[in-house]
């Protein structure tokens, strides 16, 4: 079976961004292991690439092949989040300990960590799938709508993704779901995929016209999701509010951000608007790294610095791309184009 992957640079960018943002930039996979446990990192991070990278590429290819928009990408990203956290590593059902912490009991019912499941499903849909796809589109606009993979490559990626989810979840991780919980989440994934297939391309598209929100406001909106997730982590041990209320606040905050974006962001200068929102999403992780995570994972500051540099380069690229092309005086005249007045007679 022939496997064709092109263009290779955008594909490489996506399969590296997809695991690097949710794993390396959050400390979930410790970059310090490169020094302290190089064998473990050499085994673990390629598995992250196979999982996140394959998932993001498959979702991106679906959107390109069937002309789908952000609604479909987010719905499939949510399905991806359930596949990873529910079917592979089983954190939806983990009773205690890392990584769920107090969320293993706060919001826990019928063997499911519902608050954790909600937060991680949204996190993976946005940070693991939509954000890497958005950044790749901004870097490589000339191939943003093109298909990158042939059927052989798609089949290989789907097989790799499925094998890791089923194999790891079935033979490595314990505390699996009950039959009822498993059937519920399988049905939920099927529903999300069905909705993604049927969602119109222009659903969640910005309205025509100019942007009606300030740049700093867009950046701040990008920080909201992770800020509310962090608030959940703080509230969980204290049980200061009922878990149902905490879940409703999380949903309302994210829905509010989406409504503001749809109402205030226009199609004009859309690349700059997308960049500012993505910048806010990443800044939230930078703050997390600098204030908290570097204590346990010192090497995370290096990852943060790399991402800050990449954002700087992307910002410069977008500014250069948006500058109008200056045409030298007389360049648009008939003589400048190589024609003579007599040629037009």
Which tens digits make up the pLDDT trace of 187-240?
Answer: 999 999 999 999 999 999 999 999 999 999 999 999 999 999 999 998 899 999
How far apart CA 84 and CA 74 sit, in angstroms, is 15
Look at residue 16 in the predicted model and tell me its pLDDT.
96
**What is the DSSP code (8-state) at residue 207?**
B
How far apart CA 103 and CA 84 sit, in angstroms, is 17
Residue 345 pLDDT grade (very low, low, confident, very high; cuts 50, 70, 90): very low
Distances (CA, A) of 234 to 101, 240, 249, 294: 11, 10, 14, 18
Look at residue 3 in the predicted model and tell me its pLDDT.
55
Residue 167 pLDDT grade (very low, low, confident, very high; cuts 50, 70, 90): confident
Residue 98 pLDDT grade (very low, low, confident, very high; cuts 50, 70, 90): confident
Phi and psi at residue 40, to the nearest 5°:
-60, -40
Residue 328 has pLDDT above 90, yes or no: no
How far apart CA 94 and CA 103 sit, in angstroms, is 9
Look at residue 168 in the predicted model and tell me its pLDDT.
83
Look at residue 176 in the predicted model and tell me its pLDDT.
81
Q: 319 Cβ partners below 8 Å, 6+ apart?
A: none
How far apart CA 266 and CA 206 sit, in angstroms, is 5
Look at residue 8 in the predicted model and tell me its pLDDT.
87
Residue 1 has pLDDT above 60, yes or no: no
CA 191 to chain centre: 20
Share of the chain above pLDDT 70, in %: 91
pLDDT per position as a tens digit, 111-146: 999 999 999 999 999 999 999 999 999 999 999 999
Q: What SS3 class is residue 77?
A: helix
- The b/e string for 304-340 (b: 16+ C-beta within 10 A; e otherwise) is beebeebbeebeeebeeeeeeeeeeeeeeeeeeeeee
Peptide bond into 5 cis (omega under 30): no
Residue 94 near residue 175 (C-beta atoms within 8 A): yes
Model confidence, pTM: 0.91
Look at residue 266 in the predicted model and tell me its pLDDT.
95
**Structure tokens given for 24:** 């390396």
Task: Summarize the confidence of residues 32-46 as an average pLDDT.
Answer: 93
Q: What is the largest CA-CA distance in the chain?
A: 86
Residue 169 has pLDDT above 80, yes or no: no
CB count within 10 Å of CB 255 equals 10
Look at residue 335 in the predicted model and tell me its pLDDT.
41
Residue 333 has pLDDT above 50, yes or no: no
Residue 5 has pLDDT above 90, yes or no: no
Look at residue 341 in the predicted model and tell me its pLDDT.
44
């Amino acid at each position: 079976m022939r496997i064709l992957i092109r263009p290779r640079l955008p594909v490489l960018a996506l399969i590296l961004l997809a695991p690097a943002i949710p794993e390396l930039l959050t400390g979930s996979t410790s970059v310090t292991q490169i020094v302290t446990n190089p064998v473990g990192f050499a085994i673990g991070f390629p598995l992250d690439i196979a999982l996140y990278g394959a998932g993001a590429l498959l979702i991106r290819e679906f959107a390109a092949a069937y002309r789908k928009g952000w609604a479909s990408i987010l719905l499939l990203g949510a399905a991806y989040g359930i596949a990873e956290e529910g079917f592979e590593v089983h954190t939806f059902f983990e009773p205690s300990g890392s990584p769920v912490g107090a969320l293993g009991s706060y919001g826990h019912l019928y063997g499911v960590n519902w608050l954790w499941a909600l937060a991680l499903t949204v996190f993976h849909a946005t940070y693991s799938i939509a954000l890497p796809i958005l950044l790749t589109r901004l870097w490589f606009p000339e191939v943003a709508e093109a298909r990158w993979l042939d059927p052989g490559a798609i089949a290989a990626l789907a097989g790799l993704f499925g094998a890791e989810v089923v194999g790891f979840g079935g033979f490595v991780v314990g505390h699996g779901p009950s039959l009822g919980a498993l059937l519920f989440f399988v049905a939920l994934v099927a529903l999300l995929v069905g909705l993604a297939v049927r969602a119109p391309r222009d659903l969640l598209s910005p309205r025509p016209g100019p942007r009606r929100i300030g740049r700093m406001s867009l950046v701040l909106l990008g920080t909201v999701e992770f800020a509310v997730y962090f608030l959940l982590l703080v509230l969980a041990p204290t049980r200061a509010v009922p878990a149902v209320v905490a879940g409703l606040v999380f949903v309302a905050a994210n829905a509010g951000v989406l409504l503001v974006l749809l109402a205030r962001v226009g199609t004009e200068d859309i690349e700059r608007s997308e960049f500012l929102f993505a910048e806010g999403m990443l800044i939230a992780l930078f703050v997390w790294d600098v204030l908290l995570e570097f204590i346990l994972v010192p090497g995370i500051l290096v990852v943060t610095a790399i991402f800050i540099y990449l954002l700087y380069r992307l910002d410069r690229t977008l500014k250069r791309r948006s500058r109008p092309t200056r045409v030298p005086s007389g360049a648009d005249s008939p003589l400048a184009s190589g024609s003579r007045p007599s040629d037009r007679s």
